[in-house]
Structure 1
Amino acid sequence: MKLSHPQAVALMVAVTLMWSIAGVITRHLEQARSFEVTFWRSFFTVLSLLVLLPFFQGRAVFGKLRRAGPALWLSGLCWSVMFTAFMVALTLTSVANVLVTMAIGPFLTALVARIFIGHRIPLRTWVAIAMAGTGIAAMYATQLSGGQLAGTLVALCVPLAAAGNWTLTQRAHREGHDVDLVPAVLVGAALSSLATLPLAMPFAASWHDIGLLALLGLVQLAIPCALSVVCARVLKAPEIALLALLEVIFGILLAWIGADETPTQAVLAGGTLVIGALVMNELVGWRQGT
């Protein structure tokens, strides 16, 4: 699939919109809770990718899994942590809290990469990290007495695992062993479903819930994951990073409109700092060509 630049931008916007539906759909579940929610979404992601992978990469993709080195399986483990923590966090705290916490992922990635593989962090990124840290600290401070701190801490596992995943794949690339993203996602979904299956039983989900979670597995995870890889062949990294921020905006708006979940002033203020820091960092880096 070959895209022009405008087509890739439009497709990436559609991808972020698909990513953003998880929060509002989770709020309309009837009986499924916590680990059962995670299990069904991961299970249906596996089924969806088993169909989509041959379409996007041919049947040879399954041979890649058989011949895969440890880097792909470790990447899959990181994906499984991200999948599990994201859905569990949504059952413990607000959609806005989860999405804003996830938005600090690029900064955590920069710090982890600096520590483990020696990536240089430019001054603009240090300033942005300080801004984002201030925003997150403001959010956490209000939650100490609000009963939602546990959910936000679980959500923090998502950007931490993402940072580890990116650093792992970069190290593998340096050693001449590139990690194919979409098969790694399949491995992650499979590990997530296997790990949460014992914790999800006895099942309580209604058929209504299972239908919604199947929708998440296909439309919110499997399809946009595959399409984002196609977009990444055309768009530059700063473009993808900036467009991906739309997930936060779309997700909060959908939960606000579709589930009457109004974000608090602290979340809005903290989120503004985090997103502003990300935009500043990426735009300056784009202009400087770094």
Structure 2
Amino acid sequence: MSSTDTNYRKGLFLTGLGGLALTVDIPLIRLADGDAWSILMMRSGTTFAAALVIWAVWRALTPNAPKLIPGWKGLIVAMCYGLGSISFTQAVFATSTANVVFMIALSSMFAALLSWICLGERPAPATLIAMAAMVAGVLVIVQDSLGGGTLYGDLMALCSAVLIASAITISRSSGKDMGFAALVGVFFPFLLTLPMVGSIGYSVAEPWWIILDGAVMMPIAFFCLANGPKYISGPEVAMFYLLETVLAPIWVWLIFTEAPSRNSLIGGSILITALVCHSLWQLTNGRSRRIVQAA
């Protein structure tokens, strides 16, 4: 097996594991039963603390441990993930779970656009068709939000998708390990929430769910997904957010019996169909290119 194929498989494994870990984020946030700022403070604080512990142990075992923030690009990536964490948490509390994850799924399309603009990786016609279908799906979803009080939540989810795509694109352009940069980035929202929680008060009924989320699941998700662009393309990494799109609403429906609205189901079905078809095409096309290069 060639080193190129090995790296590609490694990238798929990392992003697949990260995507699966990410699917439980929203259910754990909901189970904690708290206000948005207190949840964000605990989630960010525990993730940052876990990152420092993991990095310190890794550093003690080997001098080849990745840097916490690899250069100025690492700092930008950290800020993107930090701001994305803020917008994501706001979205979870301001709109439905289905809307949040369907909007986050757009990160793959944003990543393709940014790769085209910033890295010169022109999207194939199939990608452009998938983008058009996904825009149509989003328009269907936000029809419920107009005048319904959840438009803010949908916009926050869209902001999170753009920030995720930006972080993936910058990570791809650097070629460096960005796993710890993604984790350290949550220090920014942690600092922001301290005065907010100090003024309105701390409110988390079941903090252990957030500790599990921040100290275990988020480090796995962020580290794996942030390292994926080192081995596979940005759009391919972003497509693994589709796992959250499909599974998170199922977990929430099973736990909280929160059924998505009709428009969310229609728009989400359009998004998922476009993403699945594009993902299968991308993986098949990428495999064909590697076979030709190896020949």
TM-score (norm 1): 0.84
The residue aligned with 1:120 is 122
Q: State yes or no: 1:195 paired with 2:169.
A: no
The counterpart of 2:48, out of the listed 46, 64, 72, is: 46
**Structure 1 residues 12, 80: closer, same or farther in 2, change over 3 A?**
closer
Deviations 1:118-163 (A, max 9, x none): 3211100000000000000111122103221110101111111112
Aligned equivalents of 1:244, 1:275: Cα separation in 2: 11
Aligned equivalents of 2:83, 2:125: Cα separation in 1: 31
Structure 2 counterpart SS, 1:143: coil
**Count of aligned pairs between the two proteins:** 280
The residue aligned with 2:293 is none
Q: State yes or no: 1:214 paired with 2:211.
A: yes
Structure 1 counterpart SS, 2:31: coil
Aligned equivalents of 1:54, 1:162: Cα separation in 2: 26
Matched AA of 1:205: S
- Tell me which moved more, 218-227 or 45-54: 218-227
Q: Unaligned regions of 5+ residues in structure 2, if any?
A: 1-5, 290-295
Query: Residue 12 of structure 1: CA displacement?
Result: 6.0
Aligned equivalents of 1:165, 1:8: Cα separation in 2: 16
Deviations 1:264-289 (A, max 9, x none): 11111111111111111121222223
Aligned equivalents of 2:96, 2:72: Cα separation in 1: 36
Q: State yes or no: 1:273 paired with 2:275.
A: no
8 Å Cα contact 1:16-1:246 kept in structure 2:
yes
Q: State yes or no: 1:169 paired with 2:138.
A: no
Q: State yes or no: 1:250 paired with 2:247.
A: yes
Aligned equivalents of 1:64, 1:56: Cα separation in 2: 11
**Structure 1 residues 216, 99: closer, same or farther in 2, change over 3 A?**
same
Query: What is the RMSD computed on CA atoms of the aligned residues?
Result: 3.1
Aligned equivalents of 2:12, 2:168: Cα separation in 1: 22
- Tell me which moved more, 185-194 or 78-87: 185-194
Aligned equivalents of 2:7, 2:192: Cα separation in 1: 40
Aligned equivalents of 1:169, 1:232: Cα separation in 2: 6
The residue aligned with 1:74 is 76
Structure 2 counterpart SS, 1:142: coil
Q: State yes or no: 1:185 paired with 2:182.
A: yes
- Tell me which moved more, 77-86 or 188-197: 188-197
Q: State yes or no: 1:27 paired with 2:50.
A: no
Aligned equivalents of 2:16, 2:258: Cα separation in 1: 23
Percent sequence identity is 25
- Tell me which moved more, 79-88 or 115-124: 115-124
